[in-house]
Amino acid sequence: MKKHKSNKAWMHEHVTDPFVQRAKAEGWRSRAVFKLMEIDEKDQLLKPGRVVVDLGAAPGSWSQYAAKRIQPGGLLFALDLLPMEPLAGVDFIQGDFREDEVLRRFEAGLGGRPVDLVLSDMAPNMSGVQLVDQARVMDLAELTLEFAREHLKPGGDMLVKVFQGSGYMALREAMRKVFEVVQVRKPAASRDRSAENFLLGRRKRAVPLP
């Protein structure tokens, strides 16, 4: 009964959410687009000609927005374990970005061009157990940082979703070794009661700090 009430409350909140309504009206795939949009307007991450990677991209609202912002001349690669409906200007690769075959396809698509920006709005399937969910979210953030270490050009940027809690400060410290500047962003579309925020790494160091 409690779970039923909780689901009903979530559904009511979802359908009355102004960001959900705006996303539908404007043709975006999810309300999450407004998180990236606000951060981009503040920090100017997306510019014509940039090469961008969107990790955990499905259903695709971040890719949908970013692909428009980096034209003309930009490239956008969307990677996810889940399928995603095609988007104009987006090269989608389904699979685990840690696997050699997925990386091979991604690197072939780059054609030698350097990556300017790594985006990740990835979240695991939530169990409802706070400690478990926190560990899963931070694991995905660490995988994003590792991907950026390997593939992002010196001077490039990374934006990653995190939850404040266990492992959060350790990740910020790890990012400081890779990026010259690490900033925290909490866009309006992140619900107030959520521990979600975003860490923005600016200007990847040519040589990481020890």
Instruction: Please give the tally of structural domains in the chain.
Output: 1
> Among residues 2, 161, 177, 186, which one is catalytic?
161
The verdict on residue 70 lying in a domain is yes
Beta bridge partners of 77: 53, 91
The question of whether 177 is a catalytic residue gets the answer: no
80 is in an annotated binding site: yes
* Alpha-carbon span 43 to 36, nearest angstrom: 10
pLDDT at 29 over 70: yes
60 is in an annotated binding site: yes
Residue 67 sits in a domain whose CATH number is 3.40.50.150
Q: Provide φ and ψ at 162, rounded to 5°.
A: -140, 165
Q: Are 102 and 55 in contact (CB under 8 A)?
A: no
The verdict on residue 174 lying in a domain is yes
96 is in an annotated binding site: yes
The verdict on residue 13 lying in a domain is no
Instruction: Give the Å distances, CA to CA, from 192 to 89, 160, 177, 195.
Output: 33, 18, 30, 8
The verdict on residue 2 lying in a domain is no
The verdict on residue 7 lying in a domain is no
The verdict on residue 12 lying in a domain is no
DSSP per-residue string spanning 21-49: HHHHHHT-S-TTHHHHHHHHHHH----TT
The verdict on residue 20 lying in a domain is no
51 DSSP 8-state letter: E
- The overall pTM is greater than 0.85: yes
pLDDT in tens, 78-99: 999 999 999 999 999 999 999 9
pLDDT in tens, 112-149: 999 999 999 998 877 778 888 889 999 999 999 999 99
121 is in an annotated binding site: yes
* Alpha-carbon span 174 to 160, nearest angstrom: 13
pLDDT interval class at 41 (50, 70, 90): very high
DSSP per-residue string spanning 140-165: HHHHHHHHHHHHEEEEEEEEEEEESS
The verdict on residue 130 lying in a domain is yes
Nearest to 167 by CA among 147, 191, 187, 195: 195
pLDDT of residue 195: 82
Residue 96: domain span = 30-204
pLDDT at 28 over 80: yes
